[in-house]
Structure 1
Amino acid sequence: MSFGRNVTTPWGQNWLNIAEPVLRKADSGRLERGLAYATPGRVPEPEFEPGRALATVDGSGTSRYRVEIILPGPDRIEAGCDCPDPVRPCKHVVAVVFRIGRIIDEDPSVLRTLRAAGGNSVPLPAEPLASPEDRTAGRSRWGTELATDAIDPADAFARPLQTLPDAVSAPDAVGEPCYCPPRPGTGVDLEALESIAAVAAGTAMTALVEADLPDGVGAT
């Protein structure tokens, strides 16, 4: 089973790498049920402190179980749960592991806290460098590293101005917006979304045609 597909950032992936020894011990049934439990509804906000996470998992019916995950040192992780399941890790531990991964996706500082065993500050792992084909507009896909072929700002400003292209003509009417249905379960009203898109397109059309611009600039 690929664990990385359940997170969206390199920091979330780093957490799953740390927790992999726990996840590898879980059977497929507990992995699947744990993933299904890894939601805010089942696992409310865990508590984080250096090298330690505590979480409550809402089980079936009114049952609630306490999960503790400890990182006593580099490349070491321990996890426990007070549920009656004799097999470890149980689905509740799996749920908390994946829930933490998704929290770290949104707030990487949580990873720093968990990796700070003994209260020591631990730097976050570096962002991955993008390959040349992933780079866009002089930035990496993570938005922090300059591409090796980026243009120096001074050279860019020193370039002579090119002749502007001829002004384009405004369309006769607003076209139909693209059909982009929201993902199931998001609760987005498709008709309302299409209405908003139509209003935005009409407003843009009016601004384009009626804009008070200098002669020779803008649409004709």
Structure 2
Amino acid sequence: MRGGRAGGRVFPPLPQHSDLQAPFATSWWGNAWIGALEGTSLDAGRLTRGRAYAREGHVDTITVAPGRIVAYVHGSRPRPYRAEIRMRTLAPEDWDRFLDAVATEPAHIAALLDKDMPHALVDAAERSGVQLLPGPGDLVPSCTCPDHGRPCKHAAALTYQTARLLDADPFVLLLLRGGDEQELLDELAQRNAHQAAREQAPGTRGTTTAALPGTLARDVLATQYRPPLPPPAAAPAHPGEPPLLPSVPGAPSPTSLEFLATDTANRAHAHLTTGADPFPTADPWHDAVRLAASHPGLTGRRSFSRQFAELAQSVDHTPADLARAAAAWRQGGEEGLAVLESPWDPPAGPFDRARGALLAADLPRMTIHRNQLTDAQGSLQLRFGRDARWYPYRSEPGRDDWWPEGEADADPVGALTAMVGP
């Protein structure tokens, strides 16, 4: 798999568990998924409430895409919370090694076609340096609820329900790792055919040949000729982790230094792999917003960590301002922040047709103010960006306290439906 990108899959809400004592997962890989969640949780109570939410059917439609799972989870309040679980995707070279390992053993291909994932298949992948199943700390939960637990009960409920999806179809796990089912099967079929052809070719059974890179001795010992330097090493698949720093009296906080080192490594890795700085702006406010948005440990909404408050103070803003701006950045990057901070007057065209499209879809009637459409209760709002996308916002009725919520969408009906539900 080189250059391909897997699409997402949408699963309808799973029914309630009829047997309250039944396990969430019956497959060994589904239980490994649950173990990755429970192995890092520090609060058994949140896990217990998450299991109860999952058994009672509080988890709505589940969307699985490369690197993340998203669902709205109904809690004690009328409005559901948006829970998300993230997991690292595999790099193209990882997929090459995985597919080679599977293609050499026809039983592995047959198992996948039967929606099975035997230990032998996972062991073969690990021997080739590819980890399919998540380990402790590989699942990164987040939620729009005010609970800062990792995971909160809503994210825990989503994780437990996902185990049921994995039970039924291990390709859900491969999709999370970035692999499309049909593309994987097509690639396996091709590699399996090539493998069979090699085995049947005369004189090749049981033999392998490999050309090792190197420099001829006569070139090395030549006095007038110097071989060219080898090409630079390939960039690592992912930036490294910062070292553990000691706490020294009078020195900066180790947590702050690790945070800055992580951000520097991420930017350096992006520069190395793309040839350009992904965030060339020198504006301190934008940089602070980017930092807050890209580091989940900093973000907040009603309560803030000391580190978050210090970051806001360094750019002369309140923590609430920074939290709101970080939410806008996560929604749409620099354009999302511009939508939050800079109202404008769109020209005639898609903006004018949006209200009619919303009414035709039986959605709330909206009033216009500049690039904003707001419902009569003052709780839902769509903002039209200069990129021709619609950015959903929500406020408590009558408070005029608008926060970005959900993802931007080129279709106003889709953006509003994501907030109000089907």
Q: TM-score range by the shorter chain?
A: 0.3 to 0.5
TM, length-normalised to structure 1:
0.46
Q: Does 1 or 2 have the higher relative contact order (CA < 8 Å, sep 6+)?
A: 1
TM, length-normalised to structure 2:
0.25
